[in-house]
Amino acid sequence: MINVKNLTKTFGYKTAVDDLSFEVEKGEILGFLGPNGAGKTTTMRILTGFFPPTSGTATVNGVDVCEEPMKVREMVGYLPEHVPLYKDMTTREFLNFAASAKRLKGNERKQAVERTIERCNLASVADQLIDTLSRGFRQRVGLGQAIINNPKVLILDEPTVGLDPTQVRDIRALLRRLGEDSTVILSSHILSEVQQMCNRVVIISQGRMQAIDTPENLTGTMKGEARVSVRLTGAESDEVESKLGAIEGVDRVESTAGGNFSVISKSAKADVLAPKIAGLVVGAGWELYELKTHTANLEDIFIELTGPEKGKAIAVDTEA
């Protein structure tokens, strides 16, 4: 549905997007993850036909964004990060404006407006001035204008930012429903959100793609360490450390006050280590209070891929 190849966009000397390539299949929800200024918004704007890339190509449903931007715009619904709305209009008036700007006419337009009001749960504020609406409702009106013409592709820039937890839940539920018939790209820096909602995740940093995969694979193939934390009593910490350290695959053991130990391994998985540790503790006659495995989450990967050290590595690469 969406095909991006070697996309690059520069503003003067600044490169916002650098050689980005990815594909999004029909019906997929793709998450864009990256720190502020990573090039998420720029990429999204290119895909909406807002401006053309400096080089590279992007097609939506086979239509090139440079050659036929108007055709692309008709197929794409976009929700910018700061949702702009005409505050002097009512919800219904605004949706009607969006529908007519998107070339829906007559009866079709009326139906689209009513359908959107229903889909976004806006019936209670349909005839209220947008100026008087709460943040959550405004976000839904914004989403409403994006979906009003049933676009094939939805591009949402930080759709849940600044909402309270209930509103976030509502928006996510709505997005999941929308994801059933359209292809969705959403950007976020809320990692758990991306982990929950997206089929695939693109991590970008400084305009470059750092990773693209399913959230499960990303966390699974995390190169970081497995970590099991144990709390126990009944022995000197030196003794515990040396015995835990002797378990196969364990690289090091860190101890903190109160009988807390962290067993760290680069090769073995936490799930494999945990029963071995439990066996050792019980066998030695110590008292075990707590045993916890830590699996890497998207947050760790995000930090690993976009952190300052990675930034340095990239800088070195470009110099070489």
Binding track, positions 256-285, relative to another protein; x by CB under 8 A: ------------------------------
Per CB under 8 A, the list member of 31, 34, 39, 49 interacting with another protein is 49
According to DSSP, residue 6 is labeled E
Among 15, 43, 48, 219, contact with another protein (rule: CB under 8 A): 48
Identified binder of another protein from the candidate list 51, 115, 119, 305, rule CB under 8 A: 51
Stretch that binds another protein, among 45-53, 234-242, 256-264, 299-307 (CB under 8 A): 45-53
Between CA 56 and CA 133 the distance in angstroms is 41
Instruction: State the nearest-atom distance from the C-beta of 232 to another protein, in Å.
Output: 57
Query: Which stretch in 84-92, 171-179, 269-277, 301-309 sits in contact with another protein by CB under 8 A?
Result: 84-92
Instruction: Tell which residue, 147, 141, 123, has the closest CA to residue 83.
Output: 141
Among 64, 70, 11, 3, residue whose Cα is nearest residue 41: 11
298 is an interface residue for another protein by CB under 8 A: no
From the list 63, 66, 89, 235, which residue makes contact with another protein (rule: CB under 8 A)? 89
Q: Does 67 bind another protein (CB under 8 A)?
A: no
Q: Is 101 in the site for another protein (CB under 8 A)?
A: yes
Nearer to another protein among residue 140 and residue 200 (C-beta): 140
Q: Between 63 and 288, whose beta carbon lies closer to another protein?
A: 63
Segment interacting with another protein (CB under 8 A) among 79-87, 218-226, 275-283, 311-319: 79-87
Contact between 97 and another protein by CB under 8 A: the answer reads yes
What b/e sequence results for 5-25 when a residue is b if at least 16 CB atoms lie within 10 Å of its CB, and e otherwise? eebbbeeeeebbbbebebebe
Binding of another protein by 145 (CB under 8 A): yes
Query: Residue 80, class by beta-carbon neighbours within 10 Å (0-12 exposed, 13-18 middle, 19+ buried)?
Result: middle
Is 74 an interacting residue with respect to another protein (CB under 8 A)?
Answer: yes
Q: By CB under 8 A, is residue 116 in contact with another protein?
A: no
User: What's the CA gap between 24 and 253, in Å, rounded?
Assistant: 43
* Tokens 């720029």 found at: 42
Strands across the sheet containing 153-157:
76-79, 153-157, 183-188, 29-33, 200-205, 208-213
The yes or no reply on residue 136 touching another protein (CB under 8 A) is no
Q: How many residues touch another protein (CB under 8 A)? A: 27
Q: Which CB contacts under 8 angstroms, 24+ apart, belong to 166-175?
A: 166/136, 167/135, 167/136, 167/139, 168/193, 170/121, 170/136, 170/140, 171/139, 171/140, 171/143, 172/196, 172/197, 174/119, 174/120, 174/121, 174/140, 174/143, 175/29
Distant-in-sequence, close-in-space partners of 115: CB < 8 Å, separation ≥ 6: none
3-class DSSP assignment, residue 250: coil
Q: Interface residues for another protein in 182-211 (CB under 8 A)?
A: none
The span of 31-39, 87-95, 209-217, 271-279 binding another protein (CB under 8 A) equals 87-95
Q: Which chain residues interact with another protein by CB under 8 A? A: 11, 45, 48-51, 70-71, 73-74, 76, 78, 80, 82, 84-86, 88-89, 93, 97-98, 100-103, 145
